[in-house]
Amino acid sequence: MAEQGEAGTGQDYDIYQDVISQFPFLNGYTHCLRGFEVAQSTSRDSVLAALQAAFDKLTTKVPWLAEQVVTVDAGPGASGFIKSIPWPASAPPNKVTRVDKDAELSSLATLLATGCPMASLEPDHLVPCPGLPQPHGLSLVPVMGLRAVFISGGVLVVMSAHHNMIDGIGLMQLWEHLGTLMSGGEISNEAIRTANTARTHVIPLLSPDTPVKDYSHLLRPDPWPLGPPPATEWCVFRMTRSVLTSIKAQASSTTAALISSDDALSAFCWQRICAVRLGSGRCRAEPVSKFGRAVSGRPAMGLSTEYLGHMMLHAATRLAMGEVVGSSLAKLAGLLRQDLDDVRTEWSVRSCATFMAGVADKSTLLYGGLHNPETDVGGTSLLGWAKRPPLRMGMLGESRFFRKPDGASIPGCMYFFPSDNDREVQIVLCLTREDLDGLGRDSEWSRYVKSAGRPERSRL
């Protein structure tokens, strides 16, 4: 069990605070997109109008989605509080934007034929501002935005969400809501109520006399930063669902624990990346490797995926590099599941919020804790959405693919995404070129995973 401490004290102690999202690192945007076929006979103006109508209905039902993000009460020793406030009446409205990129981007047919590699999704042609970890650079900061990027034969619908306000699960739920509205349906009253739940009440802090799980590992070391990270680049890999089922069976073969597809795929990727790093001679067997996983606090706090706000904390599993490589998938998956279950409890979630509430300058906190890109890997999974019916968006029909645009590096980062088809899931990695080349030569990796294309150059 983790070390325990005590919650904050004081007569004015308020257990109702919006704190779990208050990492200054998250003061930026997550971008994702979906590709749709558009018949030549369909006017682009009509597509834009349909998207705008759905966006307007959504923000009418969930008004804070139409607001702006601000930081208040910042000062010496205090990072301030990041929240949303109404959009200025004097400012131009936050509308769905349109850009035509037939000349700059590949046609939809070409993207589908080539597997839509990330290198084909240049952010300069797609997104309204840089994505995390880069600063957004905006003077007026919307909670979310939509952009229609028209290309030959189709449209790329780009969704941008401010990460302090909306996490990955919230972002995926927003796609579902837009699909419902564009298809002539209505968002349920329960979903609307959940989306509008007061952020201050979803995670009550622990009372001052209650033991608190130790989250001091979130504090950054001194001195900081430790040094420049290695040059890395994003790459998309594809795995068939039948292969994922096979890996899950291997990871479940010798353990009584309930192993998920996420557990199994995490174990497989962690093991192969460590094997490549050991095989290159850059790492030794003794140093510890950490596998970090983003964990939704919703189940522990009795919330459904229809809660859109940021509810993520992290689980970490640590093993010596050599042990990661030498262990069975079942052992690794079991350890990953155990550490995830330890984090995904009400006490753990409330402890994290309570600890963060006691840190006035949250710029001293590291999202997910200390990460060594030479040895560690950190991941977020949205594979749960791959089990849902394909997303349809009214006149646009069924989504042909889901992608993260290319962009700035997050060394050692990994995403598991649905592919918007019934055949594959996608693994998105941000690793050094040496690591990616090593995976390409790794027989076990190549047996199960196919590349969706490598970029021509690194993005530093």
| Amino acid in position 59 | T
Q: What is the reported pLDDT for 226?
A: 85
- In this structure, is residue 294 part of a structural domain? yes
Are 165 and 272 contained in the same domain?
A: no
Q: Could you give the 3-state DSSP secondary structure of residue 80?
A: coil
Domain span including residue 144: 24-200
Q: Are residues 182 and 86 in the same domain?
A: yes
Q: How far apart are CA 133 and CA 131, in angstroms?
A: 6
- 68 and 161, same domain (yes or no): yes
**Number of separate domains in the chain:** 2
Q: pLDDT for 133-182, tens place per residue? A: 999 999 999 999 999 999 999 999 999 999 999 999 999 999 999 999 99
Token readout for 258 is: 């309930």
Identify whether residues 51 and 128 lie together within a single domain. yes
Please check whether residues 240 and 174 belong to one and the same domain: no
Task: Based on the fold, state whether residues 252 and 391 are members of the same structural domain.
Answer: yes
Q: How many CB atoms lie within 10 A of CB 39?
A: 9
Looking at every residue in the chain, the average pLDDT score rounds to 93
Is 195 in the same domain as 235?
Answer: no
- Whether 93 and 54 map to the same domain: the answer is yes
Q: Report the Cα 156 to chain-centroid distance in Å.
A: 19
Q: Which residue has the higher pLDDT, 14 or 152?
A: 152
Burial class of residue 388 in the structure, from the number of CB atoms within 10 Å of its CB (0-12 exposed, 13-18 middle, 19+ buried): exposed
The residue with tokens 């990796």 is: 445
Phi, psi of 32 (to 5 degrees): -150, 165
Cis before 130? omega within 30? no
Residue 420, domain member (yes or no): yes
Distance CA 306, CA 177 (A): 9
pLDDT for residue 455 is more than 70: no
Classify residue 460: in a domain, yes or no. no
In the predicted model, is pLDDT for residue 451 greater than 60?
yes
Per-residue pLDDT at 204 exceeds 90: yes
The secondary structure of 114-170 as a DSSP string is: HT--GGGS-GGGT-SSPPTTS----SS-BSEEEEEEEETTEEEEEEEEETTT--HHH
Contact 159, 174 (CB under 8 A): yes
Band (pLDDT 50/70/90 cuts) for residue 287 is: very high
397: left (phi over 0), alpha (psi -120 to 50) or beta: left
pLDDT at 255: 63
Structural domain ending residue among the three candidates 173, 200, 227: 200
| % of the chain beyond a pLDDT of 70 | 95
Query: To 10 degrees, what angle do helices 329-343 and 346-357 make?
Result: 60
- Identify the bridge partners of residue 37 per DSSP, sorted by sequence position: 154
Residue 35 token pair: 């590709």
Q: Say if 11 falls within a structural domain.
A: no
Mean pLDDT of the 13-19 span = 88
77 and 183 together in one domain: yes
- Whether 2 is covered by a domain: the verdict is no
Confidence of residue 459 (pLDDT cuts 50, 70, 90): very low
Per-position b or e across 216-236, b if 16+ CB within 10 A of its CB? eebeeeeeeeeeebbebbbbb
User: Which CATH number does the domain housing residue 115 bear?
Assistant: 3.30.559.10
- What's the number of CA atoms in the CB half-sphere (13 Å) around residue 309? 27
Domain's final residue, options 200, 229, 260: 200
Q: Where are the beta strands (DSSP E) in 41-128?
A: 68-72, 81-85, 97-100
Q: Which amino acid appears at position 232 of this protein?
A: T
| Residue 26 Cα distances to 41, 144, 362, 368, angstroms | 42, 14, 11, 11
Helix (H, G, I), strand (E, B) or coil at 232: coil
| Residue 205 located in a structural domain | no
Q: Which of 200, 229, 257 is the last residue of a domain?
A: 200
Confidence of residue 342 (pLDDT cuts 50, 70, 90): very high
Contact of 451 with 119, CB cutoff 8 Å: no
Q: What is the mean pLDDT of residues 336-343?
A: 96
Whether residue 178 is found in the same domain as residue 221: no
Is residue 236 within 8 Å of 424, Cβ to Cβ? no
| Same structural domain, 168 and 248 | no
Task: Cite the beta strand spans of 391-455 per DSSP E.
Answer: 401-403, 413-418, 424-431, 450-451
Based on the domain organization, do 291 and 378 belong to the same domain? yes
For residue range 376-391, list pLDDT tens digits in order: 999 899 998 888 888 9
Angstrom distance (rounded) from CA 395 to CA 187: 18
Give the separation between CA 244 and CA 263, rounded to whole angstroms.
11
Residue 1 falls inside a structural domain: no
Q: Can you tell me the mean pLDDT for 204-210?
A: 95
247: its two tokens? 């890996």
Task: Examine residue 240 and state whether it is found in any structural domain, yes or no.
Answer: yes
